[in-house]
Structure 1
Amino acid sequence: MPATDLSLLIDAALEAGRIATRYTGRTAERWDKPLGAGPVTEADLAVNAMLEARLPAARPGYGWLSEETEDSTARLERERVFIIDPIDGTRSFAEGSRTWAHSLAVAENGVVTAAVIYLPMRDLLYAAAAGQGATLNGVPILASQIASLDEAEILAARPNLEGRHWRSGRAPNFTRAYRPSLAYRMALVSQGRFDGMLTLRPSWEWDIAAGDLILREARGRCTDRAGNPLRFNNPHPRLDGVIAGGEKLHTLLLSQIDPETAGIRP
């Protein structure tokens, strides 16, 4: 990883925040993507245009994968690739909420090596580079090391508690919380604000790439729902869910999830 990849992502994320906050959320023009792929706003597209012009120009040899750019197989031929979500939590942005984020990452041979999650409306910038630890606004952060599900507070959407996902037919007795941005959920676990997070449905790479590295560099563990390390820049850029938390809590969660429901589903 070039030493300047992280600084490049930080500068780009700050510029993304300046662009996105020029829009006013509820009054920003909004469309629904085809095939139920969710909403997109003019702010998403403006941020994506800036990032797509700026980042590949700074790293001509890198591939490109972004939620708001038509995918190309050309990225599969590149050793390094940018993985970008211009605005994670578009629905929240469109509703005028402050809980949305820019998620920027670089992956090398499938492993994320530099990452930034930035929430401009909350003045929160999470960052990490491989082997250098994770920070929030420049201050080192560490994931929770709690070792009890009964005492844990875990970020998860309500459908993840359905009995079909769990060996016992019911979810463990943890306290559930929720935030609309998946990248922000992973960042909150990285800083120890919550003990863990999980999503048991197929997840797009751009939602989780940055959070994967930030959490691992904060001494947490992050895998798919079957316990496999996350690998990025796949031909179909979707992974089989995410389980994240401190090492002990991650092990406990994984032991409770039913492996028969694992695997990418339509």
Structure 2
Amino acid sequence: MPNPDLSLLINAARASGEIARGYFNASPEVWEKSGGQGPVTEADLHVNRQLSADLQAARSDYGWLSEETEDNDARLKTDRQFIIDPIDGTRAFIEGSKDWAHSLAISENGVVTSAVVYVPMRDAMYTATLGGGATLNGVPLMALQDKPIDTATVLSSKPNLDSKYWANTAPPFKRAFRSSLAYRLALVGEGRFDGMLTLRPTWEWDVAAGMLIVSEAGGTASDQAGKTAVFNNPHPQINGTVAAGGIHAALIEALA
């Protein structure tokens, strides 16, 4: 029997994709957020409004945490929460790249239980449920295993290779990049890349869905200290993100 929470997220993600595609490469209005938090477009806000209306109507007892909604402590009093990034990879969206995503997750008592990362311009629907495995368009996923770190390809931005983050120097893996953290995680779960990392405080909405996809695909997703991430924190950030198949332990060991 389909998981009702997952079905809800899948339908919401597809509806989000329809909205966002209408703005893509159509010169949407763009604003810069305060505090150097990056750009937001009218597409982000439209998707957020629709997700808020549809998801909270369907699960009125679930808390709400979204990048594009002003946060409050009401969610801390709930057992389950939606953790949403209406468009993850907004810069890519603005630039006309296809590599942006909708990231939708449900957490319960700090643990993500259902997750969707949808990449509309590639029609790639990544899904996972706790204990139920991960899929891409219905096909089961398996993260890459048993590979030497010096022959691995890791999704990361260049600043993460700074020596200050590593016990010695960054391992000699090949670096690749995608703008969306959610998509990076999904690609690790898919087995297209060996790992991903971001070594700065990470907003929960960027990684909640993707971390479950990696772990349910047989990989490991943690903070940069190797600890299991806990979600729905009063300040909704975790201590960086490291996700991989067989090279996860080597990445954690190499970090400062």
User: Which residue does 2:188 correspond to in 1?
Assistant: 189
Q: What secondary structure sits across from 2:104 in the alignment?
A: strand
1:4 aligns with 2:4: yes
In structure 2, do the counterparts of structure 1 residues 140 and 71 end up closer, same or farther at CA, with 3 Å as the change threshold? same
Quote the offset at 1:26 in angstroms: 5.5
Residue 113 of structure 1 contacts residue 130 of structure 1 at CA under 8 Å; is this kept in 2?
A: yes
The letter of the residue matching 2:255 is I
Q: Distance in 2 between matches of 1:161 and 1:232?
A: 26
Helix, strand or coil at the partner of 1:128: strand
Letter in 1 for 2:76: L
State the match for 2:177 in structure 1.
178
Identity %: 59
| Residue in 2 that maps onto 1:253 | 251
CA distances 1:200-250 after superposition (whole Å, capped 9, x unpaired): 11110000000011111001000000111011000000111001001x310
* Residue aligning to 2:134: 134
Q: Secondary structure at the match of 1:16?
A: helix
Partner of 1:146: 146
Kindly indicate whether residue 23 of structure 2 is the aligned counterpart of residue 34 of structure 1.
no
- In the alignment, residue 51 of structure 1 is paired with which amino acid? L
Aligned counterpart, 1:80: 80
In the TM superposition, 1:74-113 aligns within 5 A as 74-113=74-113
Q: Distance in 1 between matches of 2:190 and 2:96?
A: 25
State the alpha-carbon separation in 1 of the partners of residues 201 and 207 from structure 2. Answer: 11
SS of 1:93's equivalent?
Answer: helix
User: Given residue 236 of structure 1, which amino acid in structure 2 is its aligned partner?
Assistant: H
CA RMSD of aligned residues (A): 1.0
- Show CA shifts across 1:51-82 (max 9, x none): 00000110111000000000010000101000
* 4+ aligned runs moved over 4 Å, structure 1: none
Distance 1:134 1:128 in 2: 4
CA distance in 1, matches of 2:23, 2:11: 20
User: Is 1:215–2:219 an aligned residue pair?
Assistant: no
Tell me the residue number matched to 1:165: 165
1:189–1:197 contact (8 Å) kept in structure 2 = yes
Q: Which amino acid aligns with 2:132?
A: Q
**Structure 1 unmatched runs, 5+:** 259-266
Q: Aligned-pair distance for 1:95?
A: 1.1
SS at match of 2:187: helix
Letter in 2 for 1:257: L
TM-score, normalised by the number of residues in structure 1: 0.94
Instruction: Structure 2: give runs of 5+ residues left out of the alignment.
Output: none
